Chain A
């Protein structure tokens, strides 16, 4: 670990200057001659067939250059999920279709000379709908006689279309029935989670045009430029190499941009109009036409010995993917595979139905199925510990997975197919628990006598883990070439969505090459100029893309050393590198600078020093997290206020600790929103009720509690310089930690998210009534 110059340092973001000066870096920050404005006509109905659609008036409106309906485009079943091929998500989506399946589904699209003209053109499109009965309640989706949402024959990979089941998963390790029989205490509870939105400050936006060679250029706010290229080529039926995807600066993604959402339709409009076309979601559209976290109903049953040893853990999930099955199987697979194995339970069972409903589409969202699962599991574990009279800290330390363990459930629940067993090669969880407890003053506050009056305080905790890339699926590549000044161009397909990947990958390259960070010039996420990368998801970039960068850098370093060896007349074994030079280890201390080596290579040897490498892992090392919350509950209003949230995370090596902390702080803020304030509400007809920031409340600077972030670094053998991942795991912790703290404060269990004041108040009233019925007098 020692001796590292760049990895482990809090360097400034390599692209920071352009962000703080407002340089034109984002998708929308260009203007093109003749650019048109594209708009989608959204469906007003949750479920309907288009009986007649007449676009003549729209087409003849001055300034309109293209109008598309299902009659004008190829019909290619696909998924919008940006996943490695072959995608595990159902192919149930069409560029445009004669049927609409949720409020906001595409009916038609136009491209016009201004937004106002485009909006006017949409109003001129005449549509006659046959409104169909809709499935709004996920619990009724599989019921006999329920309307069938995907009755089209050409969709594929749907588990059971006649019952609206997009995916079904059943996996068992050991025998839970046996485990329950051997348990001293068995408890089963139901938990409900809701629809959370990503709300990146930059909504989805895409600009498409044809380059002078007639190739389709797609400048887009995407986490998955390479997958999008493949998807768009398939949907528009043009060769992959006729598509060029450029990912400029991305204004936040959080999984919502691991989707091909506008690229296909915008590309179709550009091909039709032969003009540049820009499409962007308005904030309102971003709420209901983009993606959300999958709502789930989870039944969790656990069996435990009297000494607190967990024996059996059974999770049964009903989830809805909305109208299309984007990430349906894999998000829900994660709910089992990343959550249950947190405990060394010999018997585990996971069963899940993912159903279609006529509601907005769910998709990838930071945490990817884990926030739902950990809310249920960590709430129930707290209840069990309380029942047994055990401190939850002790319960976690006793039962949690540890160094050297093998997680066999992950082997069964891979990316939509059999996965690979997960071996725990680094684990800082016990230390995370210890330091998190210390930060929140756990011992003192657990014992603290209840305050008088209507404000009650409590503390609660939770633990969670995630993955670092998808084992055996995620892969990345990197390319490096040396310039005359001794600096290196680093080209990666990786997609920095704001988390700092460009900086971390540059740090890894600089460290490996022995140069200062300013000698690395990174280009990322351009399918013409950078090599392949699956993209920014599954907490993969640092470990997978970083692994590729390290390999490429080591290959380039070998070339550098070989030439330096000639120049210094010293064998390679006697050379060291650092601070932009190569020097001999002998007493003479001869050295050459990187710039001298580069000049020698280029103008004497006629050699471009360059190389590339690809990388994947057959395992997905989990980062670990312990979350501690202190809350204050107002028993008169049910209002819950988080006073302090302490999060301790094991990310392996923190390549840039300052950025790592930022990832934790951002993740837990979204996690607190998930726990307390954020929910996209729909009316009985599937229409969104609160698609704006006034009614859908994300935390502002004023709403924040005290946050404590602790990095517990470990050394992961599979990661570059020991790094694992950090961006997702902390989001799992707040909801259960807050729910458990509420229980500690006022003695009620809230098993439904978000935890609204009315839910807490109702639970308090119910509890009071129960106690009164039991004859207990409550002292006021």
Chain B
């Protein structure tokens, strides 16, 4: 099979990937151990596979991996700083916003993309930003509350060197 070399930054760490031209970003990320990127529909309908590419929330199931050449990709594994959670993650815990947790990475990253652009959104803006991530457990009440609560906390935009990829057991 034809392969191509790809340079990409994932969770602030430079990576070199060998991919096939038709590989989807979702498949490559999971293959590389980023299991926090979830496969929910593979059609761009559910948002469980949401990652940030250069700060923009995208459905990784709809994006060819080849498209992220030279880009910065952020997955849920790259959000916490060691044991220090991002305020959105902490708020999700405090507000009971994660039930089964399958859509949670997508929810949190969609919220992260919003808060990076608009640190003090109103509820309608939060709902708009999260409308692309479907959840079957929560009714969105607690996730929206969590994002609004996180937005009230002092912004944490620290970068750090290394975050291990998802552990393969």
Contact = CB atoms under 8 A, between A and B. Distances in A.
Interface of A: 10, 12-13, 15-26, 28-31, 198-203, 249-254, 280, 282-283, 497-500, 656, 658-659, 661-662, 665-666, 668-670, 692-694, 698-702, 704, 707, 709
Interface in B39-65: 39-43, 45-46, 48
Interface centre among A16, A661, A698, A704 (most CB of B within 10 A): A16
Contact of A252 (B45, B76, B85, B102): B102
Contacts of B75: 22
Q: Is the interface of B mostly helix, strand, loop or mixed?
A: loop
A104 B167 CA distance: 36
B134 to A, nearest CB: 6
B70 interface: no
A669 B99 CA distance: 14
A193 B41 CA distance: 27
* A22, A30, A283 interface centre (most CB from chain B within 10 Å): A22
A201 B138 contact: no
B100 A201 contact: yes
Given A201-B134, A665-B138, A693-B134, A20 B98 contact: yes
Contact of A12 (B94, B100, B131, B168): B94
Contact of B98 (A19, A202, A699, A700): A19
Q: What 10 pairs across the A-B complex have the smallest Cβ distances? A: A22-B36, A498-B100, A19-B101, A251-B102, A22-B76, A665-B139, A669-B139, A693-B45, A29-B35, A283-B41
B69 to A, nearest CB: 24
Contacts of A666: 99, 136-139
Nearest to A695: B45
Contact of B168 (A24, A25, A669, A699): A24
Contacts of A709: 141
Contact of A16 (B43, B76, B93, B128): B93
A251 B105 CA distance: 12
B17 to A, nearest CB: 16
A283 to B, nearest CB: 4
Interface in B77-133: 77, 79-80, 85, 89, 92-96, 98-105, 108, 126-128, 130-133
Contact of A283 (B30, B45, B137, B139): B45
Contact of A249 (B34, B40, B101): B101
B84 to A, nearest CB: 11
A202 B104 contact: no
A48 B37 CA distance: 40
B139 A707 contact: yes
Given A252-B136, A662-B137, A13 B166 contact: no
Given A21-B36, A201-B40, A26 B102 contact: yes
B141 A28 contact: no
A709 B145 CA distance: 14
B41 A20 contact: no
B96 A658 contact: yes
Given A29-B35, A283-B41, A692-B43, A662 B100 contact: no
Contacts of B7: none
A700 B137 contact: no
Contacts of B134: 201, 693, 698, 700
Nearest to B94: A12
Contact of A21 (B41, B80, B130, B133): B80
Most chain-A Cβ atoms within 10 A of its Cβ — which of B36, B38, B95? B36
B102 A201 contact: yes
B167 A24 contact: yes
Nearest to B108: A20
Contacts of B142: 658, 661-662, 665
B168 A250 contact: no
B130 A701 contact: yes
12 contacts: A13-B96, A19-B104, A22-B34, A22-B104, A23-B166, A201-B100, A252-B100, A500-B96, A670-B136, A698-B136, A701-B131, A704-B141
